[in-house]
Each structure stands twice: as structure tokens, then as C-alpha cells.
Amino acid sequence: MNPSFFIRNIPIYGDLILSPMAGFSDVPYRLVCREFGMAMSYTEVVSMDGILWKNKKTFNLLDFRLVERPVTFQILGNDEDKIVEACRIIEQLGPDIIDINMGCSVSDIAGKGAGAGLLKNPSKIGRIFNKLSNILRVPVTGKIRLGWDDKSRNYQEVARILEDNGASLIAVHGRTRSQFFFGKANWDAIAEVKQSVKIPVIGNGDVKCVADIERIKRHTGCDGVMIGRAAIGHPWIFQYKDRNHVAYKDKIDLIRRHLSLMQAYYGKEIGVILFRKHVTKYIMGMPRATELRPFLVKCNSSDEIIDHISSYAERIQKHEAA
């Protein structure tokens, strides 16, 4: 099998990637997605300050397993010297790649000049990447939006600055910061970035089903596709399979296994609590799922979750057979 693309000298086999999402892109779910064909792993984003302050919870977010490689650590910050120092620290933990988040739209982050807030200052982006590409041994990549708002769509300028200052890949979310996750993602803009740089470009935004994967690749020419919300509770998308093509038994089997991974990683009680948000996503699109959801979010044991899911599936199958 030939690599789909390279991040500097790192071959990437496959072209579908799980977006780094707080609370979802943890070790257990990344392991599930890798098993289903995800091309590489991105950790949940960590803050520059959390690293410099040696915050234990922040460092825990950078945990990974060898089978996940290549692994990308994603970090955000608003101070060029501090983010460089933080990257030097996390590089020692063994990532294959370090990614600078310039897409986070959360007000407390972007409003302080980090995440998408960096897009307001392209020259600072250039200085950060110039320093990182000269100091770090691992490739440095960036995830961007189209700009701060409709009046400042500077994605092409930022893309060229990234490439000129040593970035090895650019992931583009086809919305501005002011759009957050509303409105339609602009795939034309992603295509423009792809045409304006020579490094790999990852397309992101409005990929909700298998047909969307093919459409965004065809429309933009992107080297890979980053999938966020549509992949939560649906790792089958990395096998090019839509939700309605997954058998109930397969969903229940994976719910059991994912829950087991969560409990092994976080402990029995915390694992169940953290799994609640996942299990409600697994049942999305299934008949009468809204009736089951209120029970699942209150479950305190793995037995409760499995009992609710199993009895629900039996009722649905009997109803469909009638």
C-alpha cells in the first residue's frame, strides 16, 4: 500500500483523520478509530500555559499508545516565545508531529489571541512557525480557519506564511471564527489553499457522510479529510460506511468494547460517566433513540448501559420483523 501523502518525511497511509475534539478524542476513542482505519491520531488540544505550569491534567491529554502512530500533539497559545518553549517540552514526550491550533473559536481562547485569534496576526504566525521549524526535530503543522470574520478572510495569506516558514501540512476548516460551526463550510476556499501551496492540505467542515468525503476530495483536491462531529459514535465512517448501513449487533458489540476501553483507561466509575456522551452518539439515527437517551445519561454502571441498549435493540428488531 502506497502512502496517501507525507508530512515531511512521515508517510501517512489513508486519508481520513479524526478531528481533535475536547472530551471525545481521547485514547480509548482514538484506538477505536485507528482500528476502523483512521490514518493518524491527533490528541486533544492542550494549552501553552498548562504545559509551562506543568499541569497534570494537561499532560494527561498527551497520553497515547504506540499503535496510534503517527501521533500529532496539538497545542494553542498566544505568546510566541512561550508557545515555542511549550513545544520544546512536549516534543520530549515523543510525538511524531506537533500542530499549532489556529482554529479554536471559543471566546475565552480566541478572544485572548490564541486559537483562531492568531489569524488576526499573520506576522506572529510566521515568527512562531519560523522558530518552531528551526528548533524542533519533528514536523510542525497548523490547523486554521478562513479568517476571523467575513471582512478578514486571510486564509491564503496565512497558508503561504505557514509554508514559507516551515509548516509541513495545513488543515483548513472552511469557516471563519465568527461562524463558529454555523453556516455552510466553504470548500472553494479549501481548494484555493490547496492550489496555492505545495505542502499537503487537509480539508475539514461539513463532512457528514461517506458521500461528503468523496465530494470534498473531488471539490478541493485535498490530500486528506478531517472529520469531527460526524465521527463521534460512528467510527465506521473511517471504513466508508454510513450510520444506516451499520447493523444493530455491530453497534452493540462496539458499545460494549468501547465502554470496556473507557473503564480500563479511566476506572470503572469514571469510565461509565465519561462514556455516557459517547453512547448517546452511537444510537443517533436509530428508531426512537430519543426515548432511550434520558435513561443512558443517568447510567452509573456498565451493566445498566448494556441492559438498556440490548433491550432497546431487541424491541426495535421485533418491531421491524412484525
> Between the CA of residue 21 and those of 27, 33, 318, what are the distances in Å?
12, 13, 37
**Residue 285 backbone dihedrals phi, psi, to 5 degrees:** 85, -10
Look up residue 312 and give its amino acid. Answer: Y
Question: Quick check: 41 and 70 in contact, CB under 8 A?
Answer: yes
Q: Tell me how far apart the alpha carbons of residues 183 and 235 are, in angstroms, rounded to a whole number.
A: 25
How many C-alpha atoms does 166 have within 13 Å on its Cβ side?
20
104 three-state secondary structure: coil
299 catalytic? Reply is: no
Q: Which of 87, 104, 222, 299 is catalytic?
A: 104
Contacting residues for 120 by C-beta, under 8 A, at least 6 apart:
113, 148, 152
At 133, list the grid cell: 521549524
SS3 7: strand
**Nearest-CA neighbor of 158 among 132, 112, 126, 188?**
126
As annotated, the active-site residues are 104
